Structure 1
Amino acid sequence: MVFNPESADFTNLNSEEGMTNELLDYLQHQPPEVLSRVAQSVSGEIRQIISHNVQGLVGVLPADGFSVQVSTDRENLAGLLASAMMTGYFLRQMEQRMELETNLSSSLSSDLDSDLNPIDKSKAEE
């Protein structure tokens, strides 16, 4: 599922707040390919965490024994969606930080290994 600002009903958002929402304007001018690429860059791990988080907020009962119906109003649903989005952005940033730290750590350890075990250049050239 990809966010599509053109099909979403955000027409009253700017008038309700009395000011221009710059982020909304920016999103509306993005090509669908960019939005799709951003949406697809989320890992399965992040999707799983967000799904678990939303299920915890809404409440989860086993499907085989219960038929659950959730009702809410527009403001509460918007808050839930905003929370899920912010969680996703936070988790993606943390995932990128973890990847960076792992790569940096690997790079530093390989540099240390090469400093501790120098290769004789004359043997390496042979």
Structure 2
Amino acid sequence: MNDISNRNPEFLGNSAQGGSSLEAYIKTLSPETIAKLSQPDLDVVRVMEHDIIGMLGSLPNEHFNTTITTSRENLGRLLASAMMSGYFLNNAQQRLKLEKTLQATQQYSDDD
């Protein structure tokens, strides 16, 4: 097994110098990785659709012609709420993947 505990990627050193480690990390990513990270996960999209339908009402389109009237301020709040929910769900999904990866790594190291 490789010991990576003493490795220090370049982007981790910038936070001590007053820079943003997140910004430095993003600059190290390839365009392909950035494009992949920019695409929403299908599970997140489904949950977002469900949440927005729940907020607006869930009448089926094929049977009802629904019109929603709101103010610009309320529409802005709805958008902000949807964006925050999306960020939360995306972070939760990433954490789930990380935890699964860590569990698999732990099981692999226990087998050695």
TM-score by length of 2: 0.65
2:52 is matched with which residue: 37, 51, 54?
A: 54
State the SS of the aligned residue for 2:62: coil
Return the offset for 1:69: 0.6
Distance 1:39 1:70 in 2: 33
Once residues 111 and 70 of structure 2 are traced to their aligned partners in structure 1, the CA distance between those partners, rounded to angstroms, is: 58
Q: What is the Cα deviation at residue 42 of structure 1? A: 1.3
Q: Deviations for 1:13-50, whole angstroms, at most 9, x for unmatched residues?
A: xxxxxxxxxxxxxxxxxxxx8xx948733101111111
What is the alpha-carbon distance in structure 2 between the residues aligned to residue 58 and residue 39 of structure 1? 29
Percent of counterpart pairs with the same letter? 35
Could you say which residue in structure 2 is the equivalent of 1:92? 90
User: Where in structure 1 do 4 or more consecutive aligned residues deviate above 6 Å?
Assistant: none
Alpha-carbon distance in structure 2 between the residues aligned to 1:74 and 1:59: 19
Which residue of 104, 107, 110 corresponds with 1:109? 107
Q: How far, CA to CA, are the matches of 1:101 and 1:62 in structure 2?
A: 37
Unaligned segments of structure 2, at least 5 residues = 1-30
* Matched pairs, number: 80
The Cα shift of 1:66 comes to 1.0
Aligned residue identity for 2:105: S
Instruction: Give the secondary structure class of the aligned counterpart of 1:72.
Output: coil
Distance 2:93 2:42 in 1: 11
1:82 to 52, 71, 80: 80
How does 1:1-126 map onto structure 2 within 5 Å? 37=35, 40-114=38-112
What TM-score does the superposition give when structure 1 sets the normalisation length? 0.58
Larger Rg: 1
Q: CA RMSD in A?
A: 2.0
